[in-house]
Amino acid sequence: MSNDEKSPVVAVPRETFGGERRVAIVPEVVPSLINAGLKVLVESSAGKGAGIDDNSFDSKGATIISARAELFRQADIILQVRGYGSNPEQGKEDLGLFRSGQIVIGFFEPLSEPGLIREMAEKGVAAFSMELMPRITRAQSMDALSSMANIAGYKAVLMAAESLPRIFPMMMTAAGTIAPARVFVIGAGVAGLQAIATAKRLGAIVKGYDIRPAVKEQVESLGGKFVELEIDAGDSEDKGGYARAMDEEFYRKQRELMTRVVAESDVVITTAAIPGKKAPILITGEMVLGMPLGSIVIDLAAERGGNCELTRPGETIIESGVTVMGPLNVPSTVPYHSSQMYAKNISTFLLHLVKEKRMIIDREDEITRETLLTKDGEVVHARVRELLSSGQDR
């Protein structure tokens, strides 16, 4: 038997979710996988949406496979952007292609779609969720959520700049002085901080707010002014560094105090999303009506229902002269670099699991334990099991 035949086979299928233009790996990471003793298969046209052709993969040592069923048949390990949980309709067609013992890595929305994770378990695959990567130092290079949030925060500002009937920077011209745009970013996580940095680079006056007072220094280091509200946020941060969901009374007081800042803003970008939960309403319809004519709300939490009361996920509406945008899958609108970043994250994670040409599932390791969803026909992730036992499946 040749060395090539002994090598575990990594397969990268074409993404089938509507409008998804990313690909799980890019040609540049293929050599690192081959050097680790893996054979890499890529479905034909998998990189097309990101501007990457089959020849680019082939030149780095990957093998191009035309038939999806054949790709899955040969695969020991499958790398995806949107796995079944985050692609419930088209992804269902792949369920019949899985075989017991295969490894599947990708985004699965396990906290929102635990029932679909159970279906994967029944196929006997070992599924690893990229969105459950622990926020620890060792896992920083595998943190795909942060990578995609960076892209979303950047693109949100560009979307606002394109649609706003004003320019962002202050300009002093012979025709007079143009005042800079006023941008308010709600949520200073990865997406929010990138939005603050991008808006500042474009010359806007930027303010930022987060329920976690600890991020004030980060907002100010990027040139933004931190908005402090007279409200007790208590224990506002979970152990992973994410903002914790608060009760409705907290959000009500927060909206009252935030109304004035929103009314003074030309652009409001909201980024507050809680994994597996509906996004909190931070901007009411009344607050939108108080904004200047022509101003814009970009709701990056639209996929979770939205932070703005008027948001319609996937749509752009105009209410009393204010544009409210609820974009979905924003990273896919910048597919080349989104794919590049995701490829680095997922390939680093894969190489964390592969030792001497073998997949080692060590559940004593925090990274492995926290991302492992299914194994040996069962759902093994504690939080997903809790959701299933409480009846929160579909």
DSSP output for 84-149: GGGSTTTTHHHHTT--TT-EEEEE--TTT-HHHHHHHHHTT-EEEEGGG---SGGGGGG-HHHHHH
* Contact of 343 with 25, CB cutoff 8 Å: yes
- Residue 327, Cβ neighbours under 10 Å: how many? 20
Token pair of 275, please? 């994994």
Q: 3-class DSSP state for residue 359?
A: strand
Hunting for tokens 């990708």 — which residue is that? 106
CATH 3.40.50.720 fits 3-142+356-389, yes or no: yes
Listed in sequence order, the residues at least 6 apart from 116 whose beta carbon sits closer than 8 Å to its beta carbon are: 84, 85, 88, 108, 109, 394
Q: What are the backbone dihedrals phi and psi of residue 144, each rounded to the nearest 5 degrees, phi first? A: -70, -30
Contacts by 313-318, CB closer than 8 A, 24 or more apart = none
Hunting for tokens 């191009």 — which residue is that? 64
Residue 340: its H or E element? helix 335-353
Q: Given this model, what pLDDT does residue 1 score?
A: 35
Stretches in the chain below the pLDDT threshold 70: 1-5, 231-247, 392-394
Instruction: Please write the tens of the pLDDT for every residue from 317-357.
Output: 999 999 999 999 999 999 999 999 999 999 999 999 999 88
Task: Give me the residue spans of the domains in the chain.
Answer: 3-142+356-389, 152-333
Q: Do domains 3-142+356-389 and 152-333 have the same CATH topology?
A: yes
- Rounded Cα gap, residues 169 and 349, in angstroms: 41
Sheet holding 77-82, edge to edge: 63-65, 39-43, 9-12, 77-82, 103-107, 126-129, 372-375, 378-379
* Contact of 266 with 292, CB cutoff 8 Å: yes
- Region 152-333: CATH code: 3.40.50.720
Listed in sequence order, the residues at least 6 apart from 297 whose beta carbon sits closer than 8 Å to its beta carbon are: 267, 268, 269, 270, 283, 288, 291, 308, 310, 311, 322, 323, 324, 325
Residue 64: its H or E element? strand 63-65
**What are the residue numbers of the active site?**
135, 140, 143, 146, 242
Q: Given this model, what pLDDT does residue 255 score?
A: 76
